[in-house]
A and B are shown apart, each in its own frame.
Chain A
């Protein structure tokens, strides 16, 4: 079993929809959680960074961490065709020396 599970999709939504992307993980020691966006043939771009449990909002993006359920989410409001990309969750713990453990990535397609 992988440490981080993420549905690869693709997830297809109409423009303007609220998108929910999720990851589950098995290692309860993970403390730091990130979401990256990756366009085709580009490097991952850091979108959100969260420490421990709780919510964090940045513009149209909201990241949620539920450590009790070992579940993290990224919500995208008012989705746009430019949001079409692969979304990767990543996490780490202090003892990992900053080594990020990634999910497989979810392909999102926003249709205009």
Chain B
């Protein structure tokens, strides 16, 4: 079946602009996760959704970052007033639910802030 999909695959933006990154989880997966992968930091957790609720936003690096999920499916990660340090690969993953620890990742969105 179809895996996790993310769009765009690449995004180049100017410092100060807002960006939106989209994630489509595997059909039937109720839990959705956002991670960020950068050279210096490795893979870091950002936020997690169970259904449309985000019980854990502890990883969001600043208030410029926000995320929402609608209809228990698609999620959008928004970064406002982008900074160069936001350049990274943003990865989305999904799992069957809160009690499932097996997370399946999408291909990521490579964000470059110039």
Q: Which residues of A contact B (CB under 8 A)?
A: 32, 34, 36, 41-46, 49, 51, 88, 90, 92, 97-105
Choose from A41, A42, A98 the contact partner of B101 (Cβ within 8 Å): A98
Q: B105 to A100, Cβ gap below 8 A? A: no
Q: CA A90 – CA B100 in complex, angstroms?
A: 14
Candidates B56, B91, B102; contact of A99 at CB < 8 Å: B56
Residue of B nearest to A45 (CB): B105
Residues of B within 8 A of A (CB): 4, 31, 33, 35, 42-45, 48, 55-56, 58-59, 91, 95, 98, 100-108, 110
> Contact between A92 and B106 (Cβ–Cβ < 8 Å)?
no
**Chain B residues in 8 Å Cβ range of A101:** 45
Are A43 and B91 in touch, CB under 8 angstroms? yes
Give every chain A residue within 8 A of B107 (Cβ-Cβ): 42-43
| A98:B4 contact, CB within 8 angstroms | no
Contact between chains at A46 and B56 (CB < 8 Å): no
- The chain B residue sitting closest to A43, CB to CB, is B105
Whose C-beta in chain A lies nearest to the C-beta of B42? A104
| Chain B proximity of A53: nearest CB distance (Å) | 16
Whether A44 contacts B105 by the Cβ 8 Å rule is yes
A97 and B56 within 8 A (CB) = yes
Partner of A103, one of B31, B42, B103: B42
What is the CA–CA distance of A90 and B55 in the complex, to the nearest angstrom?
Answer: 21
Give the nearest-CB partner of B55 in chain A.
Answer: A97
> A81 CA to B89 CA in the complex, in Å?
25
User: Besides the contacts A44-B43, A45-B105, A99-B48, what 14 more A-B pairs have beta carbons closer than 8 Å?
Assistant: A34-B101, A34-B102, A43-B105, A43-B108, A44-B91, A46-B103, A46-B105, A88-B43, A92-B101, A98-B33, A100-B43, A101-B45, A102-B44, A105-B42
